[in-house]
Structure 1
Amino acid sequence: MLVSHKHRFAFVHVPKTGGCSISQALQPYGDRVMRFWMNRWLDRVGIHVNHYAPPEMKRFRLHTPADTLRRQLPADDFARLFKFAFVRNPWDLLVSYFHYLVSSPRHHRRARATGLASFEGYVDYELRRDKISQSRMLCDRHGRLLVDHVARFESLHEDFDRICGWLGVPATLPHVNRTVAHDRRDYRTYYTRRLAARVAEH
């Protein structure tokens, strides 16, 4: 997640939706947590800065959900921010996740992905984990949407440029953290009707 109180925005980083490129482009306009080393030290002694620090000292994890941001900021600060995120076709997203894990030797879940018999086995595993829902990143526990704008990965550059225009920041989108998968096919070829329906139900 990237937050800017000066430019009044919060980018909620849904995994595998171009978020690394977006964060890199907007980083110069985001809040600078100058005392990050102190935050870590305070955490170790049991003082959790995210709960007690003023907004400009708060730090958020890469994939912090919008509901966590809402709970950790004063209500007025949260309301002032233009909160946005990008989402992706869920069937394509799972294929991207699968290839990302298989091609990432240091990822802690790579062994799990490569140890499964098939892509279908991987999808079953992810659905059982129940942690891959994009809506969970953007909604509260009652299903209410907490962000102001949901853009699409499929129109990443166009939507990003539009958002930058709204924010008044002249950011340029780079391309980083691309998963290299030479044997990747069109995502639709990975699914049987049954498997596609299971993802839709989830």
Structure 2
Amino acid sequence: MLIFLGPRIVLLSVPKTGTTALEEALAPLAEIAFRAEPSVKHLNLRQYRNRIQPLIARRDRPAFQTVAVVREPLDWLGSWYRYRRRDALIGHRNSTAGIDFEQFVTAYLQPDGPPPYARLGRQSELLIDHDGRVAVDHIFRYEAMPLLVDFLSERLNHPITLERVNVSPAAALELTPATRERLRRELAGDYAIWQAARHAGE
């Protein structure tokens, strides 16, 4: 999470949506940056409103606007799967080495709780308020990163150049039609958020 006091912008950090590249480019411009510990870096909207907003809000200044990136859910899961196949995780309970993508997604969708390597939550969990409504002010698709860069460049009054960082290794991402359909059905809320997010075709 990055907070820009002057422009009144809060950039939430949804995992596997290019946030590391954004942090590398924007952290020097932010007055407040939560970057290291994942449980702090990836504070959700409710945690921000409960813990952080009361510390920085001022009645004599405009309200902060929140910004986030979301990824097409299947692509998001594919990124997690590839990331957890890297050599550094082999032997760790989070490793997906030796597991194909079909097994990974099926495990992720287990109703009684997924195993550690597929325990990821939902992107939507970071974007909803206490009433369960999506309440982030500006949501951009991961695929429309240039649109987000233009938006932030204008709001921060500073040119932004992103580098490719934290790139996951390549892997086959094949699913049966039945599993693909089940994923779309069970992640309908996340798909709806992604479909409504700002994109280059607007």
Q: TM-score, normalised by structure 1?
A: 0.73
- What does 1:22-41 correspond to in 2, within 5 Å? 22-32=22-32
Deviation string for 1:16-39 (max 9, x for gaps)?
A: 111101111110111257xxxxxx
Tell me how far apart the structure 2 counterparts of residues 141 and 196 of structure 1 sit (CA, whole Å). 30
- Counterpart of 1:61? 40
Tell me how far apart the structure 2 counterparts of residues 90 and 77 of structure 1 sit (CA, whole Å). 33
**Structure 1, unaligned stretches of length 5 or more?**
34-59
- What does 1:14-163 correspond to in 2, within 5 Å? 14-32=14-32, 61-72=40-51, 73-74=53-54, 77=57, 80-106=63-89, 108-111=92-95, 113-114=96-97, 116=99, 118-128=100-110, 129=114, 131-163=120-152
Deviation string for 1:56-78 (max 9, x for gaps)?
A: xxxx8121111110111229829
Q: CA deviation at 1:164?
A: 2.1
Letter in 2 for 1:114: A
Letter in 2 for 1:176: V
Q: CA deviation at 1:173?
A: 1.7
Change (3 A) 1:68 1:32: closer
Letter in 2 for 1:62: K
Change (3 A) 1:69 1:32: closer
Tell me how far apart the structure 2 counterparts of residues 174 and 69 of structure 1 sit (CA, whole Å). 27
- Counterpart of 1:40? none
Superposed structure 1 runs of 4+ greater than 3 Å apart:
106-111, 128-131
- Counterpart of 2:163? 174
What CA RMSD, in Å, does the superposition of the two structures yield over aligned residues? Answer: 2.5
Letter in 2 for 1:172: T
Change (3 A) 1:139 1:75: farther
Letter in 2 for 1:99: R
Deviation string for 1:133-176 (max 9, x for gaps)?
A: 11111112432122110001112123222232133232222221
Tell me how far apart the structure 1 counterparts of residues 56 and 83 of structure 2 sit (CA, whole Å). 38
| SS of residue matched to 2:67 | strand
Figure out how many residues of one structure are paired with residues of the other and give that number.
169
**Structure 2, unaligned stretches of length 5 or more?**
34-38, 188-202
CA contact (8 A) 1:10 1:84 kept: yes
CA contact (8 A) 1:83 1:149 kept: yes
Tell me how far apart the structure 1 counterparts of residues 101 and 41 of structure 2 sit (CA, whole Å). 27
- Give the helix-richer structure, 1 or 2: 1
User: What's the % identity of the aligned pairs?
Assistant: 30
Change (3 A) 1:76 1:30: closer
Tell me how far apart the structure 2 counterparts of residues 75 and 23 of structure 1 sit (CA, whole Å). 22
Q: TM-score, normalised by structure 2?
A: 0.73
